[in-house]
């Protein structure tokens, strides 16, 4: 009888030792990295895997009979299987490698638009979407004469499920699993079930979910699910689009070139089998291998324990931040990952607000990396009547001491700016 592998205990200090960049100094101060929603840092295992590919294999995949090409192909396809298991897809050929979430959603919008949309049809998104889950659908709607409909956002930063604009003309639902700006964990499974009853194809932007939640695409019931490696401790320039094979078989390719063909004549071409129909050109092989290592690294730890640690960081930071005069958190949903967006409004004590850009600059001078601006969610900023926010986003390697350091630095910066 096989004994289940024992996962190592969650120790933040031991975890941090695996991330070389955390030893760096910024302006002479120890780096406090709170910009994980933009890109997470990489453990040594991932960095070594990419370097080892270039140093010992470095050949193209599926295109050669020589030893290096065979090794590269085996390493890439092993990573595809790692991804399949991690998100519980049925088949490895349902895993399509892309350059990131943006590319995955653009693939979905271009291909589904051609397959499903005609004049008068509707696509539904939500008001909290990243631009990458807005603009591709706008382009698809313009191309095919369809209309974009929007689920409104409540004052707490959640979907208003009483106003979901489904109709008999709705063909596609495209929604984010987790908000990159607010941290809101959305009830995607519930809305997908509702959409399926009406025959609506569902696309999920999982960029912010993959590092924090247990993603099970079969349990969610979605048709397509996109995410990036670089937000889940993996390399930049690599992502995944999962799709149900029945739907992927029907979808036309969105890019033409090498690898995605079966036969080519000067008159017409036929397409390769899945997943290669959607993987035109030389892939980011090193990135794919690195993504596989990043997922295996996450799987070494209990994700529920990681999530509890990140939630404790969120609770502590929220409490400390709300004690600051004039600070207002944008997005107060009951279910959140470790993301806090805030503004400094004029207060009775000071009478003046603070611009997020100035705040981010002064925090950087103290070694603290946060994100400022609209976070590629301008419609969401408009909804809350702000030009931008300061966003703090946590990862499993962050510590309570770092939260306290950030809060102290923030108070200092606000005092300088008021």
List, by residue number, the catalytic residues: 376
- Give the tokens for residue 284: 């980011």
DSSP H or E run through 139: helix 135-144
Q: Spell out where 301-412 has E strands.
A: 327-330, 339-344, 368-369, 371-373, 389-393
Three-state DSSP class for 158?
Answer: coil
DSSP 359: H
Whether residue 136 contacts residue 165, with contact meaning beta carbons closer than 8 Å, is answered with no
Distance (Å, rounded) from C-alpha 142 to C-alpha 20? 46
Candidates 128, 311, 146; CA nearest to 213 is: 311
Candidates 103, 50, 46, 377; CA nearest to 232 is: 46
Distance (Å, rounded) from C-alpha 176 to C-alpha 226? 10
Task: Please provide the DSSP assignment of 6-32 as one string.
Answer: PPPP--HHHHHTT-GGGG-EETTEE-E
User: Which residues are 349's β-sheet partners?
Assistant: none
Separation of first and last alpha carbons in the chain:
66
Neighbours of 16 (CB within 10 A): 17
Distance (Å, rounded) from C-alpha 227 to C-alpha 384? 27
Candidates 174, 178, 183, 181; CA nearest to 135 is: 174
In terms of phi and psi (left: phi > 0; alpha: psi -120 to 50; beta: otherwise), the region of 183 is: left
Distance (Å, rounded) from C-alpha 226 to C-alpha 239? 7
- Give the tokens for residue 375: 């976070």
Whether residue 386 contacts residue 303, with contact meaning beta carbons closer than 8 Å, is answered with no
Distance (Å, rounded) from C-alpha 62 to C-alpha 60? 7
Q: How deeply is 9 buried, as exposed, middle or buried, from its count of CB atoms within 10 A (0-12, 13-18, 19+)? A: exposed
């Amino acid at each position: 009888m096989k004994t289940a592998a024992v996962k190592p205990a969650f120790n933040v200090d031991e975890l941090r030792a695996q991330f070389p960049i955390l030893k760096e100094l910024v302006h002479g101060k120890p780096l406090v990295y709170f910009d994980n929603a933009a890109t997470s840092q990489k453990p040594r295992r991932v960095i070594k895997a990419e370097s080892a590919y270039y140093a010992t294999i470095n050949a193209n995949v599926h295109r050669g009979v020589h030893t290096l090409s065979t090794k590269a192909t085996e390493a890439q396809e092993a990573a595809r299987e790692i991804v399949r298991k991690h998100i519980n897809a049925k088949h490895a050929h349902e895993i399509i490698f892309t350059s990131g979430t943006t590319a995955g959603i653009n693939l979905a919008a271009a291909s589904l638009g051609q397959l499903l949309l005609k004049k008068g049809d509707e696509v539904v998104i939500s008001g909290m979407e990243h631009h990458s889950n807005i603009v591709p659908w706008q382009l698809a709607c313009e191309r095919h004469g369809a209309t974009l409909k929007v689920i409104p956002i409540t004052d707490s930063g959640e979907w208003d499920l009483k106003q979901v604009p489904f109709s008999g003309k709705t063909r596609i639902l495209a929604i984010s699993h987790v908000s990159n700006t607010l941290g809101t964990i959305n009830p995607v499974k519930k809305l997908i079930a509702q959409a399926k009853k009406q025959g609506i194809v569902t696309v999920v932007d999982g960029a912010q979910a993959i590092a924090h939640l247990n993603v099970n695409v079969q349990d969610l019931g979605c048709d397509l699910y996109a995410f990036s490696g670089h937000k889940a401790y993996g390399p930049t320039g690599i992502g995944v689009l999962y799709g149900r094979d029945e739907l992927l078989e029907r979808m036309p390719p969105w890019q033409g070139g090498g690898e995605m063909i079966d036969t080519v004549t000067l008159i017409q071409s036929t397409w390769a089998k899945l997943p290669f129909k959607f993987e035109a050109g030389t892939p980011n092989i090193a990135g794919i291998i690195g993504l596989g290592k990043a997922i295996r690294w996450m799987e070494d730890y209990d994700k529920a324990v990681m999530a509890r640690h990140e939630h404790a960081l969120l609770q502590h930071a929220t409490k400390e931040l709300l004690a600051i005069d004039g600070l207002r958190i944008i997005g107060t949903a009951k279910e959140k990952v470790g993301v806090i967006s805030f503004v400094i409004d004029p207060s009775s004590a000071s009478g003046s607000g603070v611009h997020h850009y100035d705040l981010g600059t002064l925090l950087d001078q103290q070694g603290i990396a946060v994100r400022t601006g609209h976070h590629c969610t301008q419609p969401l900023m408009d909804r809350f009547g702000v030009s931008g926010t300061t966003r703090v986003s946590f990862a499993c390697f962050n510590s309570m001491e770092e939260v306290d350091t950030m809060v102290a630095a923030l108070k200092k910066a606000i005092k300088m700016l008021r």
